[in-house]
Chains A and B, each alone.
Chain A
Amino acid sequence: QQQVKQSPQSLIVQKGGISIINCAYENTAFDYFPWYQQFPGKGPALLIAIRPDVSEKKEGRFTISFNKSAKQFSLHIMDSQPGDSATYFCAASDYNTDKLIFGTGTRLQVFP
């Protein structure tokens, strides 16, 4: 029940295309859903996060879509660029837990 399932494991997108990464969870108490971006040789960095009082949050080319009834959330990268090539992790937590539960990561490659 504590798992966060992330798909796909890897994703190849052409420059200018839309990248979509999906995550699903079981614990209905989760109320914080962040996405992290990790470049090779670097630590993960918080990219964007959403709480379940909204169904969508947009920051520039990055959008989180949240479906509370389906217990799913996704990251959309519009107009994908080669500089977006990185590993992306979704995560979830609730205020009763001490830690984030991470997905297994998606390696995104954007080709020119």
Chain B
Amino acid sequence: NAGVTQTPKFRVLKTGQSMTLLCAQDMNHEYMYWYRQDPGMGLRLIHYSVGEGTTAKGEVPDGYNVSRLKKQNFLLGLESAAPSQTSVYFCASSQGANYGYTFGSGTRLTVV
């Protein structure tokens, strides 16, 4: 039982490059979330999904896009990376907002 798996674990991008972060969960959870964590800023919600085919904006969505084509996968895309997007990105899943989240181990992204 892997839980929530994030790939890749580390990545260095040049400004302007694009990339996709993949989150996969094997718990049949309906809800999935993407957060970024920066020093002193806590967890900030980027986008989330309440079911296959749905997406919604969080508090810091600019510069990111998401897709939830399959229930078990939630993709986070950076179209044109900027140094301000240097961060640690966490994916989480849940059977509902009123239940505990299971987080992945994170992706450390550096944009130079």
Q: In the complex the two chains form, is B98's CB within 8 Å of A99's CB?
A: no
Q: Tally chain A residues at the interface, Cβ within 8 Å.
A: 23
Assess the A99–B45 pair: CB atoms within 8 A. Answer: yes
B60 to chain A, nearest CB (A): 13
Q: Is the CB of B48 within 8 A of A104?
A: no
Residues of B within 8 A of A105 (CB): 42-43
- Of A40-48, A53-61, A75-83, the one with at least 4 CB within 8 A of chain B: A40-48
Residue of B31, B45, B100, B106 with highest tally of chain A CB at under 10 A = B100
Which A-B residue pairs are the 6 nearest by beta carbons?
A43-B103, A46-B100, A104-B42, A32-B98, A95-B98, A105-B42
Residue contacts A-B, CB under 8 angstroms, 30 given: A32-B99, A34-B100, A34-B101, A36-B103, A41-B106, A42-B105, A43-B92, A43-B104, A43-B105, A43-B106, A44-B101, A44-B103, A46-B100, A89-B43, A93-B97, A93-B98, A94-B98, A95-B97, A97-B97, A98-B31, A98-B48, A98-B50, A98-B56, A99-B31, A99-B45, A102-B42, A104-B41, A104-B42, A105-B42, A105-B43
Which residues of chain A have a CB within 8 Å of any CB of chain B?
31-32, 34, 36, 41-46, 49, 89, 93-95, 97-100, 102-105
